[in-house]
Amino acid sequence: MLKSTLLILLGAVVLSVVLSEDQIKCKNLTFAFTICNTETRLLSIDQIQYADSLNVTFTSISRIAPNAFRNVRITKLTLNFSAEFNKTRRVTFEESSLGGLPALTILKISGAEFELSRNHFQQFASVMHLPASGTELNNMEQPTAAQPNLKLSRGIVVSVSSDSVTVGAEDIVSGLFDDLTNLEELDLSWNNIQSVRGKPFKGLNRLLILKMDNSRIYDLGPGVFDDLVQLEILDLHGNSIDVVREDVFQSLTNLREIDLHSNSIVVIERFAFSGLSLETLRLNSNDLRAIAPYTFSRLNVDFLDLRNNTQMTISPGSLGGLRVWNLTVDRGSLRLGEFH
């Protein structure tokens, strides 16, 4: 009898927990939005008054229902997934979870670890071709519909599965951003990307700014940036890149700034920056030692920073073919009079 009573009580507790987790709660999120969710699943956010942006923090949500934002008409969406001790939380986004955002131009997601497939961005394709609103912009934080940007910030693991490509969990692969054809700024900083190969930025021929700093990148495959024909700023600082290959930057003829400081660069292949006209090239705080002749051949640059490469020496011919206005090095690494 006692055993049966205990089983009934335990069953009641389990049932109570299940019911609690599945119980739907709806409330006002702000004056302009209502939210419906269970303990762990976001079901919907509805817009009841005009607002241009929504910034929402989830403390326990780990799943986003399909079309959860179908009744939202905003241009800027920020989703924060908080967790204890600044740890990221695993969040499940279905392919249509971000559906129903016809005017979205800025998407920021932080604190979540999730998988992305190329299909996640299909619903944004038509938005990228809407005419600009006519508002004069002061910075990229307030783009019009013709100036969207996507920010995937700290803690996100970009993991893409493809019918034609098999990739590791930390790779960015071809086709992920195919539908974001009007994107002008892409921020992938503070991720766990590690390897960038193939054609991951195919179709982003309007991209002006690409930030991939502090993302544990150690490998940049040949031609990975070839599709970024309008790119002006490339930020790769704070990674683990050890070799700068000859064929990584050569297609980026509009580049103004390359930031590679605080990597682990030991080798720069000859002609790696050939044909570029830059305002700034930062190679400081790496592991450069001997710079081969003509490493910087046919490079025009206003400011070249080579400081804090403690074992580096610049020999005759190392700067052959370089045109530079301002060269910054550590005392002792540059032997004056040995080259012109």
* Element of type H or E holding 279: strand 277-282
pLDDT at 298: 93
pLDDT at 47: 94
For the entire predicted model, the pTM comes to: 0.75
Same fold yes or no, 12-120+164-231 and 236-339: yes
Query: Quick check: 204 and 227 in contact, CB under 8 A?
Result: yes
pLDDT at 14: 44
pLDDT at 26: 94
Name the pLDDT band for 86 (thresholds 50, 70, 90): low
Residue among 47, 180, 49, 171 nearest 107 (CA) = 180
Residues of the chain with pLDDT > 70: what percent?
70
Name the pLDDT band for 293 (thresholds 50, 70, 90): confident
The CATH homologous superfamily for domain 12-120+164-231 is Ribonuclease Inhibitor (3.80.10.10)
Tell me the DSSP string of 47-99: E-S--SEEEEEESS--EE-TTTTTB---SEEEEEE--GGG--EE-EE-TTTT-
Tell me the DSSP string of 141-176: TS--TTS-EEEE-TT-------SS----TTEE-TTT
The CATH homologous superfamily for domain 236-339 is Ribonuclease Inhibitor (3.80.10.10)
Name the pLDDT band for 45 (thresholds 50, 70, 90): very high
Spans of all domains in the chain: 12-120+164-231, 236-339
Tokens 């991209």 identify what position?
207
Q: Provide the mean pLDDT of the chain.
A: 77
Q: Which residue has the higher pLDDT, 301 or 163?
A: 301
Name the pLDDT band for 161 (thresholds 50, 70, 90): very low
φ/ψ of residue 119, rounded to 5: -70, -15
pLDDT at 180: 76
Residue 51 clears pLDDT 80, i.e. is over it: yes
pLDDT digits (tens, 9 = 90+) for 89-109: 788 887 788 877 877 877 888
Give the lowest-confidence range in 52-56, 215-219, 290-294.
290-294
Residue 198 clears pLDDT 70, i.e. is over it: yes
3-state secondary structure of 108: strand
Give the lowest-confidence range in 17-26, 48-57, 97-106, 267-276.
17-26
